[in-house]
Amino acid sequence: MDKENIHRQLNRQIKKHFSDDFIANNEALQNFIEVVNLSYLNFEKDAELFEQSSRLNDLEYYKINQKLKSELGKKENIQNNLIQAIKQLNNNEIKFQNGDDSNNLLQILRNEIEYKRDFQNELYSAKMNAEKANEAKSDFLSIMSHEIRTPLNAIIGLIYIMEKENTLNSFQENLGVLKYSAQNLYMLINDILDFNKIEAGKIDLEKIPFDFKELVTHIAKSLEIKASENLNKIEVIIDDNFTPNIISDPLRIGQIITNLVSNAIKFTKNGLIQIKVDQIKQKDTISVFKVQIIDSGIGIDVEKFKSIFQKFEQAEVKTTRQFGGTGLGLAITKKLLHLLNSDIELQSEIDVGSNFSFVLELPFFSTNLELKKSIVHHDYKEESLDGLRILLVEDNLINIKIAEKILKQWSVDVDTAENGLIAVEKYKSNEYDLILMDLSMPVMDGYEATAIIRSTNSLIPIIALTASSSYSYLEKGLKIGLNEYIIKPFNPKELNMKLRKYYK
């Protein structure tokens, strides 16, 4: 900044308020002084012109003078308002002086307003993109679920039929491998979708009376074959003082214990897996007890204790290659325990084994309450449903054949419809005890068909038999009028259990 060209009056004002060092170190102030200085210099030129014009005519001078006073008053008022606005936008500490050029101030204010507007537009755009991305993720998961589960339904259904009909004895060993592979793929998909539901906060725990001891016993029994493949044994040890009759969510607690026991089996060879349940205390109607899953497997390095509970993480990279898995099992277990107001504890030593444990505080009840058998056990015996009339609504011809064969194993009278429109027409002209409804179909989907049927009949049971596991889609169906749903690929035993509820 050239001090020699600074207007003398402005220079006096500057020296009153600012030191040379302050000006030298403040580039913004220097730029502002240059703008104001230009205003002072222009003002002198205006004054010279004004004097020349005043000499021409006193009357004309008076009018011009009055007009200038009016305009200067307006200018000063505008400048004051602009200065306050700029200070509020920028939190600017620079002190503005009278005599500022309003055009420059207007430009500064305009720039700030445009910046703020652009910033708000960017925020709004980012918000919209995030919402679209979330919707896209939900749609993607639903589509992938449908596309993967549909062929899996055919695989699992055909295995079930071939086992029942027993027409391919020479291929029993291959069938066993195929069944094992299909079940593994099914569990992997369930892990991914379960984790997505937990992350989205879409899992609500049920409050059902059940026998915890019976649950643990069934889990141990169902995993015996899997354990024997690694030459392992499973042992259940339950405290004699333990109160088994509790109220909670047996499905999710069963999922926690199954995950931990399956994990122990996977990392143990020719060893022992123990499931221990110890009563800690009872207070009022609350039972406090500890569950431990102890194995004699490969163990875990203490430095890896935290990382194995993160999604898609395992203790070592080589672990995934050697033992497989998504790395979601322990992450899901930890999150489910958080929903139960608990947490998982780990004690482990390399080449000695591991102990995963958690403590639950749950209501208990007297034995006269009816226990709800909500879990499909491996020893469940399917029952005949002779005379039950079902309308099966499904667009996939292979799935129709599989479902028909399974239902006829139980002597069910089955009628079929290839889409929702045909289903509505058949419903109007026939009598059915129950409708199995696919949701994703051409012409008319299951949601619209259910809504039409519900408009005239609120009693007929409608069960969704769908490959879409997205919570939002299923919730939409329940609101329209579905009684419940079964996710493809379905377990025939689960289907038999649900149909029995409506069998008269």
Tell whether 169 is covered by a domain: no
Tell whether 469 is covered by a domain: yes
Domain shared by 282 and 408, yes or no? no
- Looking at residue 444, the DSSP 8-state letter turns out to be S
CATH of the domain at 250: 3.30.565.10
N residues, the chain? 504
Domain shared by 329 and 442, yes or no? no
Domain shared by 412 and 343, yes or no? no
Domain shared by 359 and 398, yes or no? no
Q: Which of 32, 66, 100 is the last residue of a domain?
A: 100
Q: Which residues of 257-273 are buried (b: 16+ CB within 10 A; e: fewer)?
A: bbbbbbbbbbbbeebbb
Q: Which of 67, 85, 100 is the last residue of a domain?
A: 100
Count structural domains, the chain: 3
Tell whether 137 is covered by a domain: no
On the CB side of 172, CA atoms within 13 Å amount to 7
**Where does 244-396 have alpha helices with state H?**
250-266, 317-323, 329-339
Domain shared by 262 and 337, yes or no? yes
Domain of residue 60 covers: 3-100
3-class DSSP assignment, residue 35: helix
What was the pLDDT predicted at 322?
Answer: 43
Mean pLDDT of successive 10-residue stretches along the chain, which has 504 residues: 69 76 78 73 63 57 66 67 60 50 62 73 77 65 62 70 63 60 65 66 76 90 86 94 89 88 91 96 91 93 70 43 54 88 92 94 72 53 92 92 92 96 96 94 93 94 81 76 85 88 86
For residue 286, the tally of other CB atoms under 10 A from its CB is 13
**Where does 166-238 have alpha helices with state H?**
172-199, 212-222, 224-229
What was the pLDDT predicted at 436?
Answer: 96
Tell whether 199 is covered by a domain: no
- Cis peptide bond prior to 489, omega within 30° of 0: yes
Tell whether 216 is covered by a domain: yes
Domain shared by 426 and 497, yes or no? yes
CATH of the domain at 419: 3.40.50.2300
Q: Which of 58, 85, 100 is the last residue of a domain?
A: 100
Domain shared by 357 and 265, yes or no? yes
